[in-house]
């Protein structure tokens, strides 16, 4: 959803939709499950759903609408900037019923404001900022359910899709030659809603490179595991090796092998046979790098990734030949990507051939977030937006991921969107694709 197609009606429906998804993601969980374990990678769900509503209150109701606080204790309870992560389990949180009442009151006031405010670009920005923030927390809620082994959620308006293992005759993950050249990396000033770390487009000169058509599959990654790749220090940098030993890993965190030598993967609260043709998921940047060392390959830079996802064949030296992908304008049923939880899990890497990039790379969007080589840094000309803590705290600390996962909402996805996590995170919905070494 962008400024051009964001109307009162479309924003209204999107706000109802995201809140319905939030509530569906905690439906049926016990009070104990809603608090969960104290972990650095998750929040207590009971706190986090209220925080998502609080973000709407801060930026839409208070900042944009000039309204007073909905709940006088909200700042003390739900402000993620000023409340330490580990303290969120110890707060005097309201009951679940009171939490839902608070969330609904914020939503109703927001919908009322939407009907009367002048919906110019300034106003749209804050409505969309709050919407996309809750979308991102929805993805985090799903991640929490996976981390804590909760049952598979029942999504509203979500359907199980038929088997999508088309093109199964394609057995090799062939390399595609990309020409490189001058390229504008990042968002341009004429672009629609963006986050501050996408500012601003700047010219770079890419050398020609070869990128794999598909993301790395479970089958490919299993070869690395069964070659004892997790136990061979030469494939890991010092920092990664120390992490691997500390975590006592011999395979991806959610994999296990039975006594008959068969491999399984934990999907929420159950172990299922590994789908060999699906993209490997829940691997860290460290693991992706180790696989690349083992296979004599490398990760793409984020510039190479964005080029492969958004450029035409007719690349010239005038920076005009972008074919930016913006999934926000698509109807969910017409998407050529595994997004919006439409499959409730990963799909075969051979699926969605109609979504191939111009160069022929498949599933650049959806299925799994893809690690890149790049460290998360500000672009030239960066300046923080209103939500100034969105990007800056993780500059020079995190690694960049691109493309979205099966959990990502299509309405916020586009070629320039940057995601970022620290390199040891193997709980998120991340995989990777590789490039040939230059």
What are the structural domain ranges in the chain?
8-147, 161-438
DSSP of 31-86: HHHHH----TT---HHHHHHHHHHHHIIIIIIIIT-PPPSSTTHHHHH-TTTS-GG
* Cβ neighbours for 235, distance < 8 A, ≥ 6 positions apart: 229, 290, 291, 293, 294
* Cβ neighbours for 339, distance < 8 A, ≥ 6 positions apart: 327, 332, 365, 366, 404, 406, 408, 409, 410, 413
pLDDT at 190: 81
Res. 317: pLDDT tops 50: no
Share of the chain above pLDDT 70, in %: 90
Exposed / middle / buried, residue 238 (Cβ in 10 Å: 0-12, 13-18, 19+): exposed
pLDDT at 344: 85
Q: Give residue for tokens 């191939």.
A: 356
Class of domain 161-438: alpha beta
370 three-class SS: strand
Mean pLDDT in the chain?
92
d(CA 402, CA 8): 30
d(CA 374, CA 387): 24
Share of the chain above pLDDT 90, in %: 86
Residues in the chain, total: 438
pLDDT (mean) for 237-256: 98
pLDDT (mean) for 124-153: 97
CA angle 212, 216, 217 (to 5 degrees): 130
pLDDT at 162: 47
pLDDT at 322: 57
Res. 366: pLDDT tops 60: yes
Q: What is the CA radius of gyration of the chain?
A: 22
Res. 220: pLDDT tops 50: yes
Query: In this structure, is the dihedral angle defined by the CA atoms of residues 397, 401, 405 and 408, taken in order, positive or negative?
Result: positive
Least confident of 207-216, 259-268, 329-338, 370-379: 329-338
Res. 28: pLDDT tops 70: yes
Class of domain 8-147: mainly alpha
pTM listed for this prediction: 0.94
How many other C-beta atoms are found inside a 10 Å radius of the C-beta of residue 229? 22
């Amino acid at each position: 959803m962008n400024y051009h197609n964001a109307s009162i009606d479309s924003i209204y429906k999107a706000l109802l939709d995201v809140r319905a998804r939030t509530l569906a993601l905690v439906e049926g969980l016990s009070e104990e499950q809603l608090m969960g374990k104290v972990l650095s990678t998750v929040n207590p769900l009971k706190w986090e759903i209220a925080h998502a509503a609080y973000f709407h209150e801060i930026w839409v109701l208070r900042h944009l609408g000039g309204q007073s606080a909905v709940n006088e204790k909200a700042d003390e309870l739900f402000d993620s900037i000023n409340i330490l992560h580990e303290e969120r389990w110890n707060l005097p949180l309201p009951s679940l019923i009171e939490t839902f009442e608070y969330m609904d009151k914020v939503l109703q006031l927001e919908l009322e404001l939407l009907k009367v405010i002048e919906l110019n670009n300034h106003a749209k920005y804050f409505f969309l900022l709050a919407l996309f923030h809750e979308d991102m927390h929805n993805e985090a809620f799903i991640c929490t359910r996976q981390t804590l082994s909760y049952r598979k959620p029942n999504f509203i308006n979500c359907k199980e899709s038929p088997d999508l293992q088309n093109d199964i005759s394609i057995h090799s993950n062939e390399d595609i030659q990309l020409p490189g050249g001058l390229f504008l990396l990042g968002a341009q000033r004429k672009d629609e809603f963006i986050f501050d770390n996408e500012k601003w487009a700047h010219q770079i000169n890419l050398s020609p490179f070869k990128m794999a058509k598909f993301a790395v599959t479970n089958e490919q990654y299993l070869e690395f595991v069964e070659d004892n790749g997790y136990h061979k220090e030469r494939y890991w940098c010092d920092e990664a090796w120390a992490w691997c030993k500390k975590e006592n890993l011999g395979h991806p965190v959610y994999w296990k092998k039975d006594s008959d030598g068969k491999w399984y993967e934990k999907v929420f609260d159950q172990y299922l046979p590994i789908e060999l043709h699906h993209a490997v998921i829940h691997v860290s940047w460290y693991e992706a790098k180790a696989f690349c060392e083992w296979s004599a390959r490398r990760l793409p830079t984020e510039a190479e990734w964005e080029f492969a996802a958004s450029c035409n064949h007719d690349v010239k030296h005038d920076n005009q030949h972008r074919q930016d992908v913006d999934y926000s304008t698509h109807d969910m049923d017409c998407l050529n990507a595994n997004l919006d939880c439409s499959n409730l899990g990963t799909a075969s890497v051979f699926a969605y051939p109609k979504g191939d990039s111009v160069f022929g790379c498949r599933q650049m969007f959806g299925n799994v977030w893809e690690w890149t080589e790049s460290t998360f840094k500000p672009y030239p000309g960066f300046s923080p937006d209103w939500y100034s803590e969105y990007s800056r705290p993780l500059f020079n600390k995190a690694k960049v991921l691109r493309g979205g996962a099966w959990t990502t909402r299509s309405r916020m996805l586009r070629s320039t969107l940057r995601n970022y996590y620290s390199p040891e995170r193997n709980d998120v919905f991340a995989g990777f694709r590789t490039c040939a070494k230059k």
